[in-house]
Structure 1
Amino acid sequence: MTKLIKYLKPFLFSIVIVIVLFFIQSLAELYLPTLMSDIVNNGIAKSDNTYILNTGKTMILVALGDGICVIIANFIGSQVAIKFGKRLRSMIFTKAENFSLHEFDKVGTASMITRTTNDIVQVQQLLVMIMRMMISAPLMCIGGIILAAHKDAKLTLIFAVSLPLLIIVIGIFLLKGLPYFTAIQKKLDKLNLVTREGLTGIRVIRAFNNINKEKKKFNNANIELRDTSLTVNRIMAGLMPFMMVILNVTQLAVIWFGAIRIDSGSLQVGDMMAFIQYAMQIMFSFLMLAMMFIMIPRAEASAVRISEVLDMKPEIVDSKNTKNSGAERGYIEFKDVTFSYPGAEQPALNNISFSAKPGEITAIIGGTGSGKSTLINLIPRFYDIDSGSILVDGVDSRELSQKELRSKIGFVPQKAVLFTGTISDNIKFGNREASNDEVEHASKVAQAYDFITDMKDGFDSVIAQGGSNVSGGQKQRLSIARALVRRPEVYVFDDSFSALDFKTDAKLRAALKSETKQSTVIIVAQRISTVMEADRIIVLDEGRIVGMGTHRELLNSNEVYKEIASSQLSEEELA
């Protein structure tokens, strides 16, 4: 929790006001028993109605001031907690936006969601409690002891027994419950993961009749969270009865020994009544502290998880001395590039060297796991390479700012991703400044215009979460339109035509040829028909380039390419 304190600086003034208000409230609470004691000793005992009325008015004013301070302090404190939570959520989201794909894999999407929601709520609740109790509880405890001792020092010896006993009991329960609070957050992560997989993969689950299996998986995760929560709640539920027993025994002892001292003439009745009030204030201040300490372990576990994200250093950062692009727009060159995924025994790519120029189509083909998508992901710098260099417009991509580098690229991923919103919004995601005419033109080139206009609301038709209300081929065409409306220097298509039929594929490639003639085009494909017209075809096998040339050249000289072509083309087409 201490690591998050530095993020409270913008709210420091409000926190000080809250603390001051609770300080005044605590003083008022401590003053009321003294006034009550004076009424009994000096008013009721002496039948002085005027004194009773005047002191009563003072008590009413003090109580009103007490109430006003509490209301204002709670209002401001709640605002601080909510704004603090908003700031943490924004910081986590902004931080996550700068993470590399490796860092996302390391934290996990489900865990990121839990940290952004549940963990921050736990910290918010503790912050409200701390602002309230940080001043009130210690002041009520210390002030209560001082004022109780002022009324009767000998009677305060009761606290020498009850308070240490109370502290020991609270400590034992907290030590037993602490490990479970950390476990709860991990169980919540697991439940979120299972829920997310179950909902996003519902089609596959139904297709393979695995609904009961997924229900069982969810129930297991749910039961684990329930059992852990019940365990820690049982532990903490046992704390309150013990505390109430100590509280009631303390009150009984005060009344018992107080009555003896009144009988001996050492204590007045009013002072004993005030002493009982102070005893309750002291014990309740410990109750408040105990409630806060119950919240601390879980909030501390949450704070650690939040800090892990905020303290994580992004692996991919802009160079301190970023350079501007070179003169040749759209020029891409790989120079002896080697790349390994974190923790992998073997590099995914080995000594990759090639160039792609504007006005040319460079295609990449190879078997499953040959490194095609990995190579493509290095161009926009989703990962950093181990050795070698990737030049963009003649400049090492690591020396360009990430924003400038990615502004040059129209990227169409292997798995088409659409966002909740209209079709127009999804296409304009590539260029927020695009006009409606540009959006329409991009959709026509991407062969998406016909199916869009056939929809009820056309370009204003709403895309459901994850694009679940459009087909795989429609998703791919919308993703391609999104890249086209950007008008980038470099087009990168990562197996973006796989869901299209051969007719649509051919029409799309023909339209793209004229649209992208001023740009560099890099295509990853499984189909020979998609790459055979490329100016340069790169053949990958086990992370290495095993062939490079035109379709006809590779058919005559490269066995890997010939094997792929033979599996897809007839003998007449191969001839």
Structure 2
Amino acid sequence: MHLVAAIAALQLVQILFSLWLPSINATIIDDGVLTGNTSLIWAQGSLMLVISLLQITAMAGAIYLGSKTAMSFGRELRRGVFSHVQSFSATDAHRYGAPSLITRATNDIQQIQMVILLTFTIMVMAPIMGVGGVVMAVRQDAKLAWVLAIAVPVLFAIIGTVMYNLIPTYKVLQERIDAINTRLREQLTGVRVIRAFVRQRSERTKFEQANSELRSTWLKIGLLWAVLIPASQLVVGLSSIAVVWFGGHRIADGQMQIGSLTAYISYLMMILMSVMMSGMMAMLLPRGEVSAKRVSEILETTPSIAAPTTPTRLPTEPLTFEFDHVSLQYPGASAPVFHDVSLAVSPGKTLGIIGSTGSGKTSLLRLFPRLIDVTAGEVRAGGIPVRELDPAELRSRIAVIPQKAFLFTGTVASNVAGHVRAGGAYDAERVTTALKAADAWEFVSKLDDGLDAKVESGGKNFSGGQRQRLTIARAIYKALPGADGRPGADLIVFDDSFSALDYATDARLRAGLPRYLGNVAVVIVAARVSTIRHADEIIVLDDGGVVGRGTHEELNATCGVYQEIVDSQMSTEEAA
């Protein structure tokens, strides 16, 4: 608040000085130039110079503080939006879509920043200048006030008409920016699919349509501004002509002095400029209002998955994770993804999950760290329903390897260890152990910079198998035992995380996991039977339910769905 008060004070000072200058100029003309009083001209000229310097200083200070306040507000708003979006569940994020979230966190906040900046530099100044200009102009000559009485309402009418048309147009503009961002994101992400299926022409057509719609909206906005500026300048020009014409007649009649007419013209310009600035602010406000509503919509969204008011604390001993007759149906879906699923995974045990495409394997895994909530049934960790836990604490006890391997811009070490700034310290021994456990140390050790080797966005400078092993190493790093011998996580979840690995690497990596993970529970979703055949228990999903559970040998003997999967992948000798 102290910055706002300082800005208001500096703006008031510089406006008062601006209003004072024409009066001094009038005195110089009437009492100095016309009478030949050189000493008065020098005295008043020196005063004008000092006032001008003070006015410039106050204006520069107000603009600096206004810019600092607006940029600081934008920084905090971006931070708030980013932090809040991080708490969104997959359902919450899907509700808005990634392109819209990006637009709201960048373009919309930029519009809000601009409105705040102009508020401190123009909106505060315009009304004071307008009112002060009217008072000072009337002091110079009250008889010419009728010019103001006509010009000001005409200007307001022009600005009001344009603003009435701009408000809905700015709303459409933001929506069309979202649309073109969506098109760009789709085409950049799916560029390989587009090329493989020769869809360039249809995708180009879609983009051109979105681009044309955005262009037409901008043209409409540009047209409204193009009407506003010349119309406003016409009013200002006609007002100046009227003042000079009628003021000249009053000077000729001896009812007004030349200096007063000069000052009156200056005040007239100030008044009309203040009206125009107010109008321009009034037209920028609608876009700022639209952006503010879009950002507020994000900030006011209550995450569907949130910590309870008084969360239950997890016990310190290793956790057992249980699903008790769990069902899941996404909002708007006509049928559940799966229903009535019960399972348990204990410390040190491995649970395998297999099933046909679309059987809900990945959705099932997302229930462990409570990335989504069940529709029916209950998920428990350490015997406590996960809805009673703080999601952050629950997720701190789980390490997840997603289906799609993803690496962040940085180094190998920063991707494995996390929270490592450029040039920052990290536990090299722990990172190396995680890489060895993920069978990634062999290729990392051959890189020129080793653990400090650069990783580009998404890990595109590594092969698919290398990315997958580095992603696995990241989860293993979290699960490795600490100095106290206790594992860093109680559960490690592999969501079809071996698909990019060859059979030998897959087998070698899985065989070494018990040596590194110890008493950590493991859940593996896989499309390949060989990946889960040695699990302590295997669950077979099909048509939204569990159709079989047991060891590989038991399922191969009793479960028809499992047998079909085995027959499609393995020979009789391998299956045995």
Structure-to-structure mapping, 1:287-302, within 5 angstroms: 287-302=276-291
Q: Are residues 1:464 and 2:456 paired? A: yes
Q: CA deviation at 1:99?
A: 1.0
Structure-to-structure mapping, 1:335-346, within 5 angstroms: 335-346=324-335
Normalised to the residue count of structure 1, the TM-score between the two structures is 0.94
Q: Deviations over 1:530-568 (max 9, x none)?
A: 112111111112322222111222222222222222222
Q: In the superposition, relative to structure 1, how do residues 431 and 230 fare at CA in structure 2: closer, same or farther (>3 Å)?
A: closer
Q: Are residues 1:358 and 2:347 paired? A: yes
**8 A Cα contact 2:155 2:276, kept in partner:** no
Structure-to-structure mapping, 1:273-312, within 5 angstroms: 273-312=262-301
**8 A Cα contact 1:360 1:517, kept in partner:** no
**8 A Cα contact 1:430 1:483, kept in partner:** no
Q: CA deviation at 1:489?
A: 1.1
**8 A Cα contact 1:431 1:485, kept in partner:** no
Match of 1:254 among 239, 243, 255: 243
Q: Are residues 1:86 and 2:75 paired? A: yes
Work out the CA distance in 2 between the residues paired with 1:52 and 1:118: 52
Q: Are residues 1:437 and 2:438 paired? A: no
Q: CA deviation at 1:574?
A: 4.3
SS of corresponding position for 2:445: helix
Structure-to-structure mapping, 1:99-248, within 5 angstroms: 99-248=88-237
Normalised to the residue count of structure 2, the TM-score between the two structures is 0.94
Question: Which of 553-562 and 135-144 deviates more?
Answer: 553-562
Q: Are residues 1:379 and 2:368 paired? A: yes
Work out the CA distance in 1 between the residues paired with 2:365 and 2:127: 61
Work out the CA distance in 2 between the residues paired with 1:418 and 1:244: 56
**8 A Cα contact 2:123 2:277, kept in partner:** no
Work out the CA distance in 1 between the residues paired with 2:441 and 2:572: 36
Q: CA deviation at 1:27?
A: 0.7
Work out the CA distance in 2 between the residues paired with 1:67 and 1:524: 69
Q: Are residues 1:537 and 2:508 paired? A: no
Q: Are residues 1:452 and 2:444 paired? A: yes
Q: CA deviation at 1:327?
A: 5.9
SS of corresponding position for 1:470: coil
**8 A Cα contact 1:336 1:351, kept in partner:** yes
Work out the CA distance in 2 between the residues paired with 1:461 and 1:306: 38
Q: Equivalent residue for 2:552?
A: 551
Q: Are residues 1:473 and 2:465 paired? A: yes
Work out the CA distance in 2 between the residues paired with 1:517 and 1:225: 57
Q: CA deviation at 1:242?
A: 0.4
Work out the CA distance in 2 between the residues paired with 1:215 and 1:420: 30
Q: CA deviation at 1:280?
A: 0.9
Q: Equivalent residue for 2:36?
A: 47
Q: Equivalent residue for 2:502?
A: 501
SS of corresponding position for 1:40: helix
Q: Determine what percentage of the aligned residue pairs are the same residue.
A: 40
Question: Which of 488-497 and 394-403 deviates more?
Answer: 394-403
Work out the CA distance in 2 between the residues paired with 1:282 and 1:396: 67
Question: Which of 406-415 and 547-556 deviates more?
Answer: 547-556
**8 A Cα contact 2:140 2:260, kept in partner:** yes
The letter for the 1-side match of 2:451 is F
**8 A Cα contact 1:430 1:485, kept in partner:** no
Work out the CA distance in 1 between the residues paired with 2:544 and 2:190: 30
Work out the CA distance in 1 between the residues paired with 2:133 and 2:316: 78
Q: Equivalent residue for 1:58?
A: 47
SS of corresponding position for 2:124: helix
Q: Equivalent residue for 1:25?
A: 14
The letter for the 2-side match of 1:538 is I
The letter for the 2-side match of 1:493 is F
Match of 2:257 among 268, 271, 281: 268
The letter for the 2-side match of 1:446 is A
Q: Are residues 1:570 and 2:571 paired? A: yes
Question: Which of 471-480 and 293-302 deviates more?
Answer: 293-302
SS of corresponding position for 1:238: helix
The letter for the 1-side match of 2:465 is G
Q: Are residues 1:394 and 2:386 paired? A: no
The letter for the 1-side match of 2:85 is A
Q: CA deviation at 1:374?
A: 0.5
**8 A Cα contact 1:333 1:392, kept in partner:** yes
The letter for the 2-side match of 1:486 is K
Work out the CA distance in 2 between the residues paired with 1:63 and 1:434: 58
Q: CA deviation at 1:434?
A: 6.2
SS of corresponding position for 2:554: helix
Q: Are residues 1:519 and 2:520 paired? A: yes
Structure-to-structure mapping, 1:309-328, within 5 angstroms: 309-326=298-315, 328=317
SS of corresponding position for 1:485: helix
Work out the CA distance in 2 between the residues paired with 1:387 and 1:341: 12
What are structure 2's unaligned runs of at least 5 residues?
480-488
Question: Which of 36-45 and 385-394 deviates more?
Answer: 36-45
Q: CA deviation at 1:205?
A: 3.3
Q: Equivalent residue for 1:9?
A: none
Q: Are residues 1:368 and 2:357 paired? A: yes
Q: Equivalent residue for 2:411?
A: 422
Q: Deviations over 1:155-213 (max 9, x none)?
A: 10111211111111111111122222122222222222222333333333333344454
Question: Which of 107-116 and 372-381 deviates more?
Answer: 107-116
Work out the CA distance in 2 between the residues paired with 1:35 and 1:129: 29
Q: CA deviation at 1:378?
A: 0.7
**8 A Cα contact 1:430 1:486, kept in partner:** no
Q: Deviations over 1:353-377 (max 9, x none)?
A: 1111112111111111111110100
What are structure 1's unaligned runs of at least 5 residues?
1-11
Q: CA deviation at 1:457?
A: 2.7
Question: For the aligned residues, what is the CA RMSD?
Answer: 1.9
**8 A Cα contact 2:414 2:420, kept in partner:** no
Work out the CA distance in 2 between the residues paired with 1:182 and 1:79: 28
Q: Equivalent residue for 2:61?
A: 72
The letter for the 2-side match of 1:448 is A
Question: Which of 564-573 and 161-170 deviates more?
Answer: 564-573
Work out the CA distance in 2 between the residues paired with 1:38 and 1:574: 106
Q: CA deviation at 1:122?
A: 1.4
Q: CA deviation at 1:379?
A: 0.5
Work out the CA distance in 2 between the residues paired with 1:327 and 1:84: 41
Q: CA deviation at 1:22?
A: 0.7
**8 A Cα contact 1:335 1:388, kept in partner:** yes
Work out the CA distance in 2 between the residues paired with 1:326 and 1:45: 94
Work out the CA distance in 1 between the residues paired with 2:410 and 2:57: 47
SS of corresponding position for 1:521: strand
Work out the CA distance in 1 between the residues paired with 2:131 and 2:18: 13
Instruction: Number of aligned residue pairs: give it.
Output: 564
Work out the CA distance in 2 between the residues paired with 1:86 and 1:116: 10
Question: Which of 394-403 and 412-421 deviates more?
Answer: 394-403
Work out the CA distance in 2 between the residues paired with 1:366 and 1:347: 16
Q: CA deviation at 1:431?
A: 9.6
**8 A Cα contact 1:336 1:387, kept in partner:** yes
Question: Which of 515-524 and 161-170 deviates more?
Answer: 515-524
**8 A Cα contact 2:123 2:281, kept in partner:** no
SS of corresponding position for 1:333: strand
The letter for the 2-side match of 1:130 is T
Q: Deviations over 1:436-472 (max 9, x none)?
A: 1222222122111212223333322212111112122
The letter for the 1-side match of 2:22 is P
Q: Equivalent residue for 2:482?
A: none
